Amino acid sequence: MTAVPIWFVSPENFSRVRDEVGALAAGFADACGFEPKPGKMQLMPTPDGGLAGVLFGLGGDPLAAGQLGASLPPGAYRFAAPPENAELATLAFLLGRYRFDRYKAAPRPAPSLEGPGVAQAESVAAAIFRGRDLINLPANALTPSALEQEARALAAEFGAEAQVTIGEELAQGFPLIAAVGAAATEAPRLVDFAWGRLEAPKVTLVGKGVVFDTGGLDIKPSSGMEIMKKDMGGAATAMTLARLVMQARLDVRLRVLIPIVENAISGPAMRPGDIYRSRKGLSVEIGNTDAEGRLILADALSLAAEEAPELMLDFATLTGAARVALGPDLPPFYTDDEALAVEIAAFSEKSRDPVWRLPLWSAYAGMLDSPVADLNNAPGSPFAGSITAALFLRRFAEGAKAWAHFDVYAWNPKPRPTGPQGGEIQAARALFALLCARYPAR
């Protein structure tokens, strides 16, 4: 079957495109009141009632092409002429096709795209879809053991073997992870795998894997708990980026650490005022049981930093304060490495995968002081919540040659051209572009 052409139109080229599509199709578009404005789409018929082509106003944003993948009827399509930034437009089309439909009785077939660059974009989109699927899975399906199996499967797919620390060994070596998950039906655990040649630069990814967050004894209200299945979005982000790195065979010694817990409530639940000794040796007073993500990341970051990786990146759905500051679409990131910050910003802009640097403002570190321990996990102050969370993590990231923390939301509160409402992978495309530039495949 011949792929249906898609013409990207603007006021400047519309006259020429009208000549290309022919009088019948152009007349039909006129009768429908089509105008070549950004986001406008028009299907054009053949004389026998088939689909002759599609007009679409792309405007200046190549990601708007995701609307085509989301809206077009099933079938094969092609770009009649490559738009500006065709690589991103191709990826956007493919990302827009995503639907979380595994629980639907009759999933709707998605349109396909043919043409240059599609195969490479498909591999990126497929990795992001897997990450979105993980976030969208309900907590009764994505339990701690199920997320462990997902991480094991990812490692095995690329020839790596995952090590899992659980039970007494976890309690001895990673006491903060053990404390956070102590009240759940399924035990907390830490998944750890490495891939790539031993001599390659060490790049470590750490992802928060809280499969559901009640808030613990500082329980969330029902409105705050509604989408807490997404609290493993940091783990999904780390696993997505890891998949992109491994399938591109970048020249790195990649290590992936996923601390996995459910923050539940039962007799063994940690309490406000409890004090735990971390893997690093620092004691932590529990100021709020709902600030659990930084606790499990602290132990995992401590382990990662022990081998002094060249680059360490962590991802977590960590604070509501980040959403208050920057909203759901713009995750903040933190780093003391100025060169790394410049790189992240540049690749974020180039890939249209937005992130925004916020400061590791050391003057706020005193907010983490505790009169009875080395640190408190949750300052009583209502100010600078995302910054103080990052400052807490920085204490455990010492040893890495460069480190950045990403406070992602991992959720689309409403549909966008490149994806529907629901789970989203943020920052991974920008960081993959950065890693490709730094560590190309051999």
- Among candidate residues 56, 84, 116, the one where a domain is terminated: 116
Q: Nearest 5 degrees, angle CA 49-CA 54-CA 57?
A: 150
Residue 191 domain flag: yes
Cα 400 to chain centroid, rounded: 22
Per residue in 52-95, pLDDT (tens digit) is 999 999 989 999 999 999 999 999 999 999 998 999 999 999 99
Residues 61 and 178 in one domain: no
Residues 100 and 230 in one domain: no
Residue 329 domain flag: yes
Per residue in 93-136, pLDDT (tens digit) is 999 999 999 999 988 899 999 999 999 999 999 999 999 999 99
Residue 265 sits in a domain of what CATH number?
3.40.630.10
360 neighbors 387 (Cβ within 8 angstroms): yes
Helices (H), 158-193: 168-173, 175-180
- Among candidate residues 86, 116, 146, the one where a domain is terminated: 116
Residue 111 sits in a domain of what CATH number?
3.40.220.10
Enter the pTM of the model.
0.97
pLDDT value, residue 243: 98
302 neighbors 396 (Cβ within 8 angstroms): yes
353 neighbors 240 (Cβ within 8 angstroms): no
Domain with 102 in it: 4-116
pLDDT value, residue 374: 98
Catalytic residues, by residue number, are 220, 294
Residue 46 domain flag: yes
Per residue in 376-403, pLDDT (tens digit) is 999 989 999 999 999 999 999 999 999 9
Residues 242 and 357 in one domain: yes
pLDDT value, residue 414: 97
Mean pLDDT for the chain overall: 97
Residue 383 domain flag: yes
Task: Look at the chain and report how many structural domains it folds into.
Answer: 2
Residues 110 and 192 in one domain: no
Amino acid at 276: Y
Residues 290 and 387 in one domain: yes
Residues 227 and 259 in one domain: yes
Helices (H), 278-371: 293-305, 320-326, 338-351
pLDDT over 90 at 49, yes or no: no
Using alpha carbons, list the distances in angstroms from residue 226 to 140, 212, 324.
14, 10, 18
Residues 419 and 322 in one domain: yes
As a whole number, mean pLDDT of residues 286-303 equals 98
Q: Which of 351, 355, 319, 328 is nearest to 416 (CA)?
A: 328
- Among candidate residues 116, 140, 157, the one where a domain is terminated: 116
Q: What six digits make up the tokens of 322?
A: 């980040």
Q: Which residues contact 168 (CB under 8 A, 6 or more apart)?
A: none
Per residue in 308-332, pLDDT (tens digit) is 999 999 999 999 999 999 999 999 9
As a whole number, mean pLDDT of residues 172-186 equals 98
Residues 136 and 97 in one domain: no
pLDDT value, residue 1: 62
Burial (0-12, 13-18, 19+ Cβ within 10 Å), 50? exposed
For residue 289, what pLDDT band results from cuts at 50, 70 and 90?
A: very high
Residues 168 and 243 in one domain: yes
336 neighbors 312 (Cβ within 8 angstroms): no
Using a pLDDT cut of 70, give the percent of the chain over it.
100
Residues 105 and 138 in one domain: no
Q: Nearest 5 degrees, angle CA 306-CA 312-CA 313?
A: 140
Residues 134 and 70 in one domain: no
For residue 139, what pLDDT band results from cuts at 50, 70 and 90?
A: very high
| 246 CB-side CA count, 13 A | 23
Residue 121 domain flag: no
For residue 220, what pLDDT band results from cuts at 50, 70 and 90?
A: very high
- Phi, psi values for residue 47, rounded to 5°: -60, -30
Using alpha carbons, list the distances in angstroms from residue 340 to 158, 305, 334, 372.
28, 17, 10, 36
Cα 5 to chain centroid, rounded: 32
